[in-house]
Each structure stands twice: as structure tokens, then as C-alpha cells.
């Protein structure tokens, strides 16, 4: 029997085990994969965007009612940076995103593992927990091979579903908590590509353009994001699209209509674009419609927009462009509309929306309100952040607090 068992060796589980061990607890960390921190290694495209200098509640989403600001204020972005600086990570700040100066996610994992070892955390990999039960205030966890582990306190940090099985993700992390009394808010992928069957996606496959992307759900505009949009065979991707994907996932669950409209010239009013096109025609009347836009629009975009504006022959003289055709074209430039069928699967996602209800957690300790001696942390909970270091910050903040609370001798 140890003092605390941490289930899950991801960001949340590792920080929880360090903090608990620093408080003098004997900690055993159980991880189903053959090593801890596998997902951490791929974060931030291998650079690990470990936090953001502007951690605020408004960048997080949940269907819970509880106020989740306590953990984020307790270990805030500054204290997170200090925590990692003390372990040897020099921060590199890009915009508001924080990375390790080495630009290697492996550095973050290395320092966490070194500190776990230094603090005497027992790390046991290839240990897949398949059952937990509590008897006389002692938790008994059973692994797939039949081995059992006992402790009065358990920190549950089994993560979400984003990234798929190779990162140890499965529904089990939620299901095992159901008999304990917890409820699961239906998980869906977020920070993920959007799927659209618009023919323009295939035409533009591989093209990147800067645009303001607006998501419309049930005919209402819900959010706008500016940045580089990438067209893929089956839809839209890129940073602004990732930020909109939670709303698209939610709409898909609720079977609501969803569209993304791209404004390719967010700084220019529609009338100015119309004037610009007439100026180009006046300057080069000898050019074809296709040639007219060279140097103004990406070549592949010209073809897609012509199709969108139902301009059939692009080889005819630009002088022959009708006013209605120019208007349809400019409307396409200002609101190139893509019907969205949903999102790609969890395998392609960076985070999970939904999970264990935060209303069932004491968010000042991360203790379960359903079972004594059980603490929850990280993505397993129904809370997810935007792209930009917010999800790891939640894992650090909630894991830190869970480790601290679980190691307090008199914690209720």
C-alpha cells in the first residue's frame, strides 16, 4: 500500500505525482503505455506550447456550471513558468504562446521525469488499470494482468480521447468512474479539421490562404477567427479553423446547420473590391478573365471562385464580365461559403470536449464529490481550451492542485 496512486502518466498525472511526492507522500504512478508522456512529445508540433501568457477563463469551454477559475489562478501561467524554470526549462515566448527555448517537447518530458525520479515517485508503465473499487476507505485498483494496487487516495488523470489509442486514449477513463457515481458529458473532438463536401475543397487541396473565418450555426454567426486557412481534400484546416471546430462539433451533435464563411479581404469593403476589379479591367482589357486576377488572387483560388460565382468561360475577355458576375465574384471573396458536415475524428483532434462533469468536482481541491479519496485532473474532465497552450495549462493547473490536495494528511 502506498499513500497515493496516480492513474495516467500524461501532463496532469506527472505534475500531480511530483507535487504529491514533494509534500512527502509515497506515490505510485501507473501508466498503460510502455512510457509516460507520449502525447506530450507531439504537442505544439514537437515544440510543446506549454502555456500562454494570457490564461483567462474566456479561452475555456465546458457544459458545467461550476466556476473552474480556482485551479487556473492557483497555478497560473507565471507560476507554471517558474515551476518549469526551476526544473531547467528556459521559456521562449512567441506572441502569447510559451515554448521551451530548446523548442523540443522532449525537454519538458525529460525534466518532469527527472523530477519524478528525484522525488522518489515510483513509475510503473505497461500497467493498464481496468477496475477501481473502494473498501473501508482504501482504493483497490486492478490492472489488466490481474495485479492489484492499494492506496487511500487516487488521482485519476487518464486524459481524453484526442489523438487515439497510440496515446493511450480510450473511453475507459470515463466508464470506470461511472460506477463510482460520476456522469460523463458526451465527448466530441475539438481543435480538429472541419469536414466539408464543397467541391472547392478538392480544387484547392493543399492551398493556404490568409482569411477571416466566420462560423455560422443555424444561420447565426457565432465566432470569427483570422489566420491561415488550409484547404484539404475533405474540408478546411489551419489555426483559425481549429479555433472554430468546437462550435462545429457541438452543432453536429445537435444536428444544427453549420457553415464557415471565409472573408479573403477582411480589410476591404465590398465596394472597394468592385472598384478594384473595374480598374484592372480598364488597365488590361486585352486579358482573359483568368489572367485578370494574376497577382491579386492565388491562381487556384481564381478557378474556385469562378466556379463559385458560376462564371463559366474563364478564357473569354475580361471586358465581357457582366456587373452581376463581378458582384457574385466579390461576394465570394467576402464570404466564400462552405457547408460543414462535421469534424474529423478523435484521431485527428488535439483535445476532447466533454468528459467527467466538473460540477461533480470540488474545484478548490480537485476532489471528487462522489467518492472520498478520489481526485481528478486534466483532460478527463469536461473542460477544454482553445489552441495556444490552454489545454496543457489546464492539465498543469488541475494536476498540481490534485497532487497538493491529495497529499494533505487531513484532506476531506
Ligand X SMILES: Cc1cc2nc3c(=O)[nH]c(=O)nc-3n(C[C@H](O)[C@H](O)[C@H](O)COP(=O)(O)OP(=O)(O)OC[C@H]3O[C@@H](n4cnc5c(N)ncnc54)[C@H](O)[C@@H]3O)c2cc1C
Site string for ligand X, 152-181 (x = CB under 6 A): -----xxx--xx---xx---xx--------
Grid cell 474532465 in the structure block, residue: 381
Closest among 356, 350, 283, 383 to 61, alpha carbons compared: 383
- DSSP alpha helices (H): ranges in 153-293? 172-175, 199-204, 239-253, 270-283, 289-292
Residue 232 sits in the site that holds ligand X (CB under 6 A): no
- Helices 77-87 and 390-406 pack at an angle, to 10 degrees, of 80
**What is the number of other CB atoms lying within 10 angstroms of the CB of residue 334?**
18
Q: How far apart are alpha carbons 165 and 170 in whole angstroms?
A: 6
Restricting to residues 90-149, which ones interact with ligand X according to CB under 6 A? 128-129
| Interface residue with ligand X, options 4, 6, 11, 406 (CB under 6 A) | 11
Please say which residue, 332 or 354, places its beta carbon nearer to ligand X. Answer: 354
Q: Nearer to ligand X by C-beta: 31 or 225? A: 31
406 conformational bin, left if phi > 0, alpha if psi -120 to 50, beta if neither:
alpha
Environment class of 158 (CB within 10 Å of its CB; exposed 0-12, middle 13-18, buried 19+)? buried
Q: How far is the CB of 339 from ligand X (least distance, A)?
A: 27
Instruction: Note whether 332 and 164 are within 8 A (CB).
Output: no
Q: How many CA atoms lie within 13 A of 90 on its CB side?
A: 3
Q: Give the shortest CB-29-to-ligand X separation in angstroms.
A: 9
Closer of 15 and 297 to ligand X (Cβ): 15
| Residue with smaller CB distance to ligand X, 88 or 239 | 239
Site for ligand X in 332-361 (CB under 6 A): 350-351
Closer CB to ligand X, 8 or 403, in the complex: 8
Between 189 and 332, whose beta carbon lies closer to ligand X?
189
Joined grid coordinates for residue 273: 473590391
d(CA 337, CA 299): 19
In this structure, are strands 336-339 and 374-376 parallel, antiparallel, or unpaired?
Answer: unpaired
- Region near ligand X per CB under 6 A, out of 273-281, 286-294, 315-323, 386-394: 386-394
- Residue count, binding to ligand X (CB under 6 A): 39
196 lies in the binding site for ligand X (CB under 6 A):
no
- Measured from the CB atom, the residue of 124 and 317 that comes closer to ligand X is 124
CB of 256 to ligand X, least distance (A): 26
Cβ proximity to ligand X: between 130 and 294 the closer is 130
Does position 10 interact with ligand X (CB under 6 A)? The reply is: yes
Please state the closest distance from residue 235 (CB atom) to ligand X, in A. 18
Rule CB under 6 A: which of 272-311 touch ligand X?
Answer: none
Which three cell numbers, joined as nine digits, stand for 330? 466579390
- Nearest-Å Rg of the Cα atoms of the chain is 25
Residue from 13, 189, 235, 373 that binds ligand X (CB under 6 A)?
A: 13
Tell which one of 4, 6, 12, 29 touches ligand X (CB under 6 A): 12
CB of 127 to ligand X, least distance (A): 6
How far, in Å, CA of 211 to CA of 131, rounded? 49
- Touching ligand X, residues 38-77 (CB under 6 A): 38-40, 42-44, 48-49
Please name the residues in contact with 324: beta carbons below 8 A apart, sequence gap of 6 or more: none
Cβ-based nearer residue to ligand X, 321 or 391: 391
Minimum CB separation of residue 28 from ligand X in Å reads: 12
Q: Which residues contact 208 (CB under 8 A, 6 or more apart)?
A: 228, 229, 230, 231, 238
Q: Which residues contact 283 (CB under 8 A, 6 or more apart)?
A: none
Please calculate the CA angle 13-246-93 and round it to the nearest 5 degrees. Answer: 60
Nearer to ligand X, 167 or 216 (CB): 167
Question: Which of the stretches 2-10, 255-263, 274-282, 313-321 binds ligand X when contact is defined by CB under 6 A?
Answer: 2-10
Task: Candidates 206-214, 237-245, 268-276, 391-399: pick the segment binding ligand X (CB under 6 A).
Answer: 391-399
Binding site for ligand X (CB under 6 A): 7-13, 30-33, 38-40, 42-44, 48-49, 128-129, 157-159, 162-163, 167-168, 172-173, 350-351, 378-379, 389-392, 395
Amino acid at each position: 500500500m502506498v499513500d497515493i496512486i496516480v492513474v495516467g502518466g500524461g501532463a496532469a498525472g506527472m505534475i500531480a505525482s511530483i507535487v504529491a511526492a514533494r509534500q512527502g507522500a509515497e506515490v505510485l504512478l501507473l501508466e498503460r503505455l510502455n512510457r509516460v508522456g507520449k502525447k506530450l512529445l507531439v504537442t505544439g508540433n514537437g515544440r510543446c506550447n506549454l502555456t500562454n501568457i494570457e490564461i483567462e477563463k474566456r479561452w475555456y469551454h465546458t457544459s458545467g456550471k461550476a466556476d473552474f477559475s480556482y485551479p487556473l489562478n492557483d497555478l497560473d501561467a507565471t507560476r507554471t513558468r517558474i515551476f518549469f524554470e526551476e526544473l531547467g526549462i528556459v521559456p521562449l515566448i512567441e506572441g502569447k504562446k510559451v515554448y521551451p527555448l530548446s523548442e523540443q517537447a522532449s525537454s519538458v518530458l525529460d525534466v518532469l521525469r527527472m523530477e519524478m525520479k528525484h522525488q522518489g515517485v515510483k513509475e510503473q508503465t505497461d500497467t493498464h488499470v481496468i477496475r477501481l473499487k473502494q473498501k473501508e476507505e482504501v482504493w483497490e485498483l486492478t490492472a489488466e494482468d490481474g495485479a492489484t494496487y492499494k492506496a487511500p487516495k487516487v488521482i485519476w488523470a487518464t486524459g481524453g480521447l484526442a489523438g487515439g489509442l497510440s496515446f493511450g486514449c480510450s473511453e475507459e477513463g470515463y466508464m470506470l468512474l461511472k460506477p463510482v457515481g460520476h456522469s460523463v458529458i458526451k465527448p466530441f473532438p475539438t481543435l480538429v479539421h472541419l469536414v466539408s463536401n464543397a467541391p472547392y475543397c478538392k480544387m484547392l487541396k493543399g492551398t493556404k490562404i490568409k482569411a477571416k473565418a466566420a462560423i455560422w450555426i443555424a444561420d447565426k454567426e457565432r465566432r470569427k477567427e483570422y489566420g491561415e486557412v488550409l484547404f484539404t481534400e475533405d474540408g478546411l484546416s489551419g489555426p483559425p479553423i481549429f479555433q472554430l471546430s468546437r462550435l462545429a462539433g457541438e452543432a453536429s451533435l445537435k444536428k444544427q446547420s453549420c457553415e464557415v464563411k471565409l472573408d479573403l479581404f477582411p480589410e476591404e469593403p465590398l465596394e472597394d473590391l468592385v472598384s478594384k476589379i473595374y480598374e484592372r479591367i480598364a488597365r488590361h482589357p486585352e486579358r482573359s478573365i483568368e489572367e485578370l486576377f494574376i497577382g491579386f488572387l492565388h491562381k487556384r483560388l481564381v478557378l474556385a471562385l469562378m466556379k463559385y460565382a458560376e462564371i463559366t468561360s474563364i478564357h473569354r475577355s475580361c471586358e465581357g464580365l457582366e456587373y452581376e458576375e463581378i458582384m457574385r465574384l466579390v461576394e465570394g471573396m467576402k464570404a466564400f461559403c462552405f457547408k460543414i458536415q462535421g469534424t474529423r475524428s478523435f484521431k485527428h483532434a488535439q483535445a476532447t470536449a466533454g468528459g467527467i462533469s466538473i460540477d461533480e468536482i470540488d474545484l478548490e481541491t480537485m476532489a471528487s464529490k462522489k467518492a472520498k479519496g478520489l481526485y481528478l485532473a486534466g483532460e478527463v474532465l469536461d473542460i477544454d481550451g482553445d489552441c495556444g497552450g490552454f489545454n496543457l495549462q489546464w492539465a498543469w493547473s488541475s494536476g498540481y492542485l490534485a497532487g497538493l490536495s491529495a497529499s494533505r494528511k487531513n484532506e476531506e
